[in-house]
Amino acid sequence: MKLSKLFSILLVIVLILSSCTKNPIDNGGGPEPTILPHYFNSPAWHPEGTWIAAEHYDSLDTDGDGQNDAYFVGIWLVHAETGTTQPLIRGFGNPAWSPDGIHLAMEAGGHIFTIKVTSLDPALVDTSSLLQLTYAGKNFFPDWSPDGEWIVYDSDIDDTKYDIWIMESDGENKKNISGESDSLEQGGWRIPNWSPDGKYIVHERYVSGGDSGPEIVVMDTSGQNPAYLTLNNERSDMCPRYSPDGTRIAWYAKPRVGPPAIWVMNSDGSNLREVSPDYAWRFDWSPDGRKFVFLYWDFLTERPGNGQLWLVNVDGSELRQLTHFIDTIHHLNQNRKEGGAMRAE
């Protein structure tokens, strides 16, 4: 085997291990969406609206000679209109913007970190601000409280299953808020998202005895008073997220047979409806609540636009492919700045 081919295979393996597949989500028995070279995942729309952070893999021209000579696996910025991409920080995934858009919460190696983003164009971070918040167990899927003072996440540190925890944004005062608060036997509690009014946390919960997969549950920030919004349906319901105004909840659902799609309901669980094409996985709301950005991934067929980020209105109209693997090295070189904050390499 040629060394170049072996190197490519090893890079793919590293990427798969470092992607969200390191933290499997039940999808009803189907294969997980795997990030291969150039593919995107875990989009997080910046509050200002122009850029989207996402996990991505691509090559870079690091010495300005016009030849791509390095690989960058980590968080990139994607322009929400043009699809232009910029590398932001290497080796991290599952980005989540602070409410003011200044900091990112993210994960690497089963732990949660934050970092200050000093510029969006060009994409720059303050490497001296990198802060590790968790040190024990495996910790994933951070999300900020609306006031930016707290971070909610899931962790297996206390049990064989994942629980939902909160901590202050500097990592202090960690607290497990999961519990067995009603008569239903519950498995893991995962992928939390804070409501815009700060009163509730929506998440996916695995209910023992059921064979349809996780359900969408809302509880208060103490972990009490759960409301099961999708109980006893024929789908695995995953990765819920509140709309920016808090009136709706979106999630992606995987039926027992067939591909996933994004669904939307009112925050009380009424008016459920499917709004995306098939094979829509990880997603985020636009800051104005009008669009979704999502990963399109058909794990059985190589379709046009596979592995790319797409946009769709919340009513299902105006579907548009956002990313196309356009080389943006020339753009990056033109906008590179000297001194001050440094790009995280």
Provide the residue ranges of all domains of the chain, joining segments of one domain with +.
3-335
In this prediction, residue 213 has a pLDDT band, given cuts at 50, 70 and 90, of: confident
**Per-residue model confidence as pLDDT tens digits over 74-105:** 999 999 999 999 999 999 999 999 999 999 99
Nearest to 27 by CA among 267, 282, 229: 282
Measured in degrees and rounded to the nearest 5, phi and psi for residue 72 equal -125, 105
d(CA 122, CA 335): 6
Q: pTM for the complete prediction? A: 0.82
The string of DSSP codes covering 150-213 is EEEEEE-TTSSS-EEEEEETTS-S-EE-----SSS-EEEEEEEEE-TTSSEEEEEEEETT-SS-
For residue 318, pLDDT beyond 50: yes
For residue 241, pLDDT beyond 90: yes
Contact status, residue 312 vs residue 263, Cβ threshold 8 Å: no
Look up tokens 């808090």; give the residue: 246
Please give the pLDDT value at position 38.
63
Please give the pLDDT value at position 224.
92
Mean pLDDT, range 26-35, rounded to an integer? 38
d(CA 213, CA 237): 7
d(CA 166, CA 210): 28
**Domain 3-335, CATH class in plain words:** mainly beta
In this prediction, residue 18 has a pLDDT band, given cuts at 50, 70 and 90, of: very low
The identity of residue 237, as a single letter, is: D
Helix (H) or strand (E) holding 329: helix 329-335
In this prediction, residue 301 has a pLDDT band, given cuts at 50, 70 and 90, of: confident
Tell me the percentage of the chain whose pLDDT exceeds 90.
65
In this prediction, residue 211 has a pLDDT band, given cuts at 50, 70 and 90, of: low
Nearest to 230 by CA among 209, 216, 220: 216
